[in-house]
Structure 1
Amino acid sequence: MMYRLTPLTGLLLGLFAASSFAAAADIATAPAEAKIDGNALYQANCASCHGADRLGLNGPALLPGNLERLRRPDAIKTIAEGRIATQMPGFGDKLNGAEVKALTELIYTPLATTPAWGMREMRASRIVHQTGKLQDKPVFKADPLNLFVVVELGDHHATILDGDKFEPITRFSTRYALHGGPKFSPDGRYVYFASRDGWVAKYDIWNLKLISEIRVGINTRNLAISSDGRYAMIANYLPHTMVVLDTKDLTPLKIVDVTDDSGKSSRVSAVYDAAPRKSFIAALKDIPEVWEFSYDGKAGKLNSKKIEEPSFQPRRLRLDDYLDDFFFDGSYKHLIGSSRGGVGQVIDLDAGKKLTSVALPGMPHLGSGITWEYQGKPVLATPNLKEGVVTVVDMNTWQTEKQIPTLGPGFFMRSHENTPYAWVDVFNGSKDRDVIQIIDKQKLEVIAELRPSPGKVAAHTEFTRDGKYALVSIWENDGELVIYDAKTLQVVKRLPMRKPSGKYNIFNKISRSAGTSH
């Protein structure tokens, strides 16, 4: 499902360290000094992550419209101390109180001109890399469904990895700062990438060729591919839009402005494909609503041969609270969501309303949630971005089955139908970030701890097609993939990589394995 971090909304993902509450309080009351150049401070400390123009890069855009849910005192605290569950460091050890206040004032100041990114800009940006006919079969001998697409953030590349031999087939450059997991066509032939700065790319895995690219926004959250392979839908932070593309050549089909009944606009938290429903589901960042977009080809016929294009008009579900993170049950009838405040709710998508509340303390990372059968019933398990615990929920009653203590806050949790174990990291911990913990799915307890590369951050486990091997990322520029026998928990191979943020098995993704994100 989802692979996402919520920003301080930006600076906030790019400006953090660690001060005390007392220090933050001092900053909040520090006198403003007119002579401090907030823009110079921004360029020196924030621009590398949030863009020189505050429009976002690796971190989100830092504009008033993107910061509506973040009050200024909280922004001051975030700049000084960092923001949990993000890449935003603290700057309290580098900047004094007046400087932090100057930065805060800057990011809440509107730009002189708000940049536009509409249909004209999209069409002008589109690049077609391949025009001739390509082979309709793989140009390599490896199993095309047991490949991994490995995203290497260290130098902005991706590797196509043979999941049987654990050998790279090819490696190619990508756009800067890919965000969220890549998505695949239903047959696994094509992979689609989205970057933080709005670029969407289509890559032909069978022919090892980049097909086309288009820039759909200024600051983009993620993308989804329809289960019939015809459409891509992209969620934007800036502008506040959703964009529909024709996957054949990434031609833009429609822009949907994201506003509520009063005209208030919103960023989009994320969009995902709900295959059994033949629809896209999107949660909104600044409006407590979920939107559903049908792409059902049965919408009607223009004539006996041509199917009418879906209208992509949203069905709007009003909620009690915002959804920053969400998860589907196996039927895709229910959506389980939570806000950064830890409010959990179960939404009946058929009825279009909240079904019940669910106890999800701390800050659950539902985008990394997985499911399995436990004592004859389906359960949902989610790591926690703020607390050292994995929450297991009975999906029949929506009651907590168990809270499993862990060494610290995690980010990714993964499993496979053919293994008795679930693997969870300590990605957000203050220590033990080099540990992967192994949970027995029937005992609901940690039964082993692995240190794939002592002293280096270990994260994002993914399994081979058959579940026999587990691949763990060492999240460092001089990182690697560490490959384990999933039964014996012994290392079988290591592959050097440049900060391999994630790797995605094609079969597990297109078959919607219960052990991985979709």
Structure 2
Amino acid sequence: MIRSLLSLTACVLLLSACAQPPLRGTGDLGVVVERATGSLQIIESATRTALARVEGLGDLSHASVVFSRDQRYAYVFGRDGGLSKVDLLSARIDHRIIQGGNSIGGAISQDGKLIAVSNYEPGGVKVFDAQTLEPVADIPATPLPDGQKRSRVVGLVDAPGQSFVFSLFDTGEIWTADFSQGQTPRIERFTAIGRQPYDALITPDGRYYMAGLFGEDGMAQLDLWHPERGVKRVLDHYGRGEARLPVYKMPHLEGWALADQQAFVPAVGHHQVLVLDARSWQPVDAVAVAGQPVFVTARPDGRQLWVNFAYPDNDRVQVIDTQTHAIIADLRPGPGVLHMEFTARGDQLWLSARDGGEVQVWDPYRLERLSSLPALSPSGIFFSSRAHKPGY
């Protein structure tokens, strides 16, 4: 009788184990935004496969994603003001709130405990507890002259010292919000930094915050080690320039590159990638490319740049050698290339071809396409390795 009970128990345990999903880590996972359907595909780079689809994430037409420190959760910022916490292991929405009317991205704090969202409507930044998505702080932006609205906020990044940095598009400002002393932030404002900062980046060491200007030539730079020095103008005499071209899609500064003590930045309204000395921040070259660049993405070893373009050249990707500044490949992956993402060690380059309905995986050393996955109007691709990179 005892032997029979033991055998039955063993069978029950065996069947229970078989019913459980296989154990896996999260460091090799990522997500693909399917903008037309408000869904995410959860992907695994080692096997180049899609594991699951998560639906019900709202308007993902300009979605961005950050990850928890343990790389288990993806926080998705939707254009409809939605903030969604997605469990990559269970492939489900852990929690979702509507925190605003029109949001344009977000960031996770240095300690991983705070999620900040930048909003067009209402203008400002809202901050939430990363575990529960309960509100922590509301930072309204500068009111506009009509007294009815506030400035739209763009270029939100996390910074060392438990801070967030962001730009105010309509009023030409850069603000820092320091949460190091608790949940009531210390705000520092820098005004008259230039007209219409449209996006921004932070250098990998967390020192320099750079805001691109759409309303005038140049970029605005804030040295976070020495904020008392104020905002400095970089590339003051370069931008859209005299021969202004129509801008079909604004370049994204997040995808800029630092390599061999050089900074590579997409030009606004020019068919060029700008090259700056990363010590003096002075221009040293301008690489002519096939169209208006959107992302300039560096291979992790810094030897290559992969560049995609706005319409009508958005079926092309060009590869630039960072030492010679020569174009070493002119690829045609397919229609509507929107985003590119390297795996953490740089063995793969994933890109989304929205109008082709697929995500492609490339070998960036051999410049060969390895495989493709079907996807529903894919746009952003984000790997969980971003969890350990400041500014991502």
- TM-score (structure 1 length as normaliser): 0.65
One-letter amino acid matched to 2:341:
E
- Does the residue aligned with 1:324 lie in a helix, a strand or coil? strand
Cα offset, 1:449, TM superposition: 0.7
8 Å contact kept, 1:482–1:494: yes
In structure 2, the partner of 1:351 is 227
Q: Identify which of 191, 205, 227 aligns with 1:318.
A: 191
2:37 paired with 1:155: yes
In structure 1, the partner of 2:8 is none
CA distance in 2, matches of 1:237, 1:464: 31
8 Å contact kept, 2:204–2:389: no
Question: In angstroms, what is the RMSD of aligned CA positions?
Answer: 2.3
In structure 2, the partner of 1:460 is 339
8 Å contact kept, 1:413–1:461: no
CA distance in 1, matches of 2:348, 2:301: 10
In structure 1, the partner of 2:254 is 368
Cα offset, 1:261, TM superposition: 11
CA distance in 1, matches of 2:100, 2:387: 26
Cα offset, 1:167, TM superposition: 1.0
Over the matched positions of the two proteins, sequence identity in percent amounts to: 26
CA distance in 1, matches of 2:364, 2:314: 21
Mapping for residues 87-126 of structure 1, pairs under 5 Å: none
One-letter amino acid matched to 1:247:
A
CA distance in 1, matches of 2:277, 2:211: 15
CA 1:356/1:420 → structure 2, altered by over 3 Å: closer, same or farther?
same
2:67 paired with 1:191: no
- Does the residue aligned with 2:64 lie in a helix, a strand or coil? coil
CA 1:218/1:356 → structure 2, altered by over 3 Å: closer, same or farther?
closer
Whose strand proportion is higher, 1 or 2? 2
Mapping for residues 62-461 of structure 1, pairs under 5 Å: 140-178=22-60, 179-259=62-142, 265-274=150-159, 276-296=160-180, 299=181, 309-322=182-195, 323-341=197-215, 342-349=217-224, 350-352=226-228, 353-359=230-236, 360-362=238-240, 365=251, 367-374=253-260, 378-418=261-301, 420-426=303-309, 428-430=310-312, 432-453=313-334, 456-461=335-340
CA 1:218/1:331 → structure 2, altered by over 3 Å: closer, same or farther?
same
Cα offset, 1:343, TM superposition: 2.9
In structure 1, the partner of 2:384 is 506
Could you tell me which runs of 5 or more consecutive residues in structure 1 were left unpaired when the two chains were aligned.
1-137, 300-308
CA distance in 2, matches of 1:502, 1:311: 32
CA 1:370/1:407 → structure 2, altered by over 3 Å: closer, same or farther?
same
8 Å contact kept, 2:113–2:131: yes
One-letter amino acid matched to 2:343:
T
CA 1:369/1:210 → structure 2, altered by over 3 Å: closer, same or farther?
closer
One-letter amino acid matched to 1:271:
L
8 Å contact kept, 1:295–1:312: yes
Cα offset, 1:140, TM superposition: 4.4
CA 1:234/1:459 → structure 2, altered by over 3 Å: closer, same or farther?
closer
CA distance in 1, matches of 2:219, 2:259: 22
CA distance in 1, matches of 2:45, 2:124: 37
Cα offset, 1:458, TM superposition: 2.1
CA distance in 2, matches of 1:373, 1:237: 33
CA distance in 1, matches of 2:138, 2:84: 18
8 Å contact kept, 2:174–2:193: no
CA distance in 2, matches of 1:225, 1:506: 13
| Aligned pairs, number | 357
In structure 2, the partner of 1:122 is none
- TM-score (structure 2 length as normaliser): 0.85
8 Å contact kept, 2:87–2:94: yes
- Does the residue aligned with 1:368 lie in a helix, a strand or coil? helix
